[in-house]
Amino acid sequence: MLERNMTYAPHSHDPYVQELTAVTNGWMRRARQMFTVAAAAALLFGMVASPSRASETQAPTAAPWTPATLRTALTSLPKGDAERGYAVSQQMFCASCHGDQGVAPTQNWPHLAGQKAAYTAKMLMDYRDRRHVNNKGAELMHDIAVMMTPQQIADVSAYYAAQKAPQDDGTPRPVAQLNPEQLVRKGDPSRLLTPCASCHSTRGQGGKLEAPALAGQNPLYFVRTMLEYKNSTRTNDAAHGMRTFAKRLSREEIDALATYYADLPTKR
């Protein structure tokens, strides 16, 4: 069970954070070892693109997104094909962390099933271009994304978008001490908080550009992401949109929103 008053910090002495860090690091080591062997075989048989030498020497971070540059990047991608995308997910061993159909087998990783294709593509470009490499999981994703062609990014994004959002995924929920319906539907004008639904829709299906689907998302991943935005350790949001929003939320509100959206597919 998540502790409501957990302080998110890279070197926190909170037992929960320490346990999560140990589990995540263990997964990182195993996933990186497995992926290194698989990538070598894939490259040998020409299954994936070769990573650029710039990535091997840690390429510089790309310029932050603006709404205009993000729109241009997304519209420049080729049309995705879900059937080809499944093949890409197998070649890249995506299922080892995110599940065969996009439902993560552990609470350490985000669910991708039902996610908007544009958001998954944006995140892959963020990993590839080092806009989002603030933790070990993101570093692993960078190693994967630099080997992907624009067509592969579009195809795998289309595959996950075609899957159903998770229901009853079995992950633990934070202890919600308040009802977040007001925040979701009306926001809080006194704090200049817009409704979550204005970007992510009332059913959590996502919106334009980088506004992801939230319905059915792993609540631990949701909390971790919101705290990273709140603390500005995650900075890949265009125009600081999520950072501005998250800074004004309390920990209790973040926990309540995580539970709300995790259970949303079964409510509607």
Tens of pLDDT, residues 1-21: 344 433 344 444 444 445 455
> In 3-state terms, what secondary structure has residue 218?
coil
- Shared domain for 149 and 189, answered yes or no, is no
* 33-42 pLDDT tens trace: 655 655 555 5
The answer to whether the beta carbons of residues 135 and 142 sit under 8 Å apart is: no
Decide if 96 is inside a domain: yes
Question: Which pLDDT score is estimated for 108?
Answer: 85
Ranking 54-58, 151-155, 196-200, 228-232 by mean pLDDT, the lowest is 54-58
- Shared domain for 136 and 192, answered yes or no, is no
Looking at the chain, the whole-number percentage of residues with pLDDT higher than 70 is 76
Kindly write down the DSSP assignment for every residue of 25-48, as one continuous string: HHHHHHHHHHHHHHHHHHHHTT-S
Decide if 2 is inside a domain: no
Decide if 169 is inside a domain: no
Contacts of residue 45, defined as CB under 8 A and 6 or more positions apart, other chains included, come to: none
Judged against a pLDDT cut of 60, whether residue 236 lies above it is answered with yes
C-alpha closest to that of 221 among 101, 122, 97, 62: 97
- Domain edge (last residue) among 97, 132, 161: 161
- Domain edge (last residue) among 102, 126, 161: 161
- Shared domain for 155 and 185, answered yes or no, is no
pTM of the complete model beyond 0.85: no
- Shared domain for 154 and 197, answered yes or no, is no
Backbone angles phi, psi at 86, to 5 degrees: -65, -40
Only one residue has tokens 């070769």, namely 50
- Shared domain for 140 and 25, answered yes or no, is yes
What total of structural domains would you count in the chain? 2
- Shared domain for 98 and 197, answered yes or no, is no
Tell me the residue range of the domain where 27 lies: 20-161
C-alpha closest to that of 262 among 226, 217, 220, 200: 217
- Shared domain for 153 and 233, answered yes or no, is no
- Shared domain for 96 and 130, answered yes or no, is yes
CATH code for the domain in which residue 198 is found: 1.10.760.10
Decide if 196 is inside a domain: yes
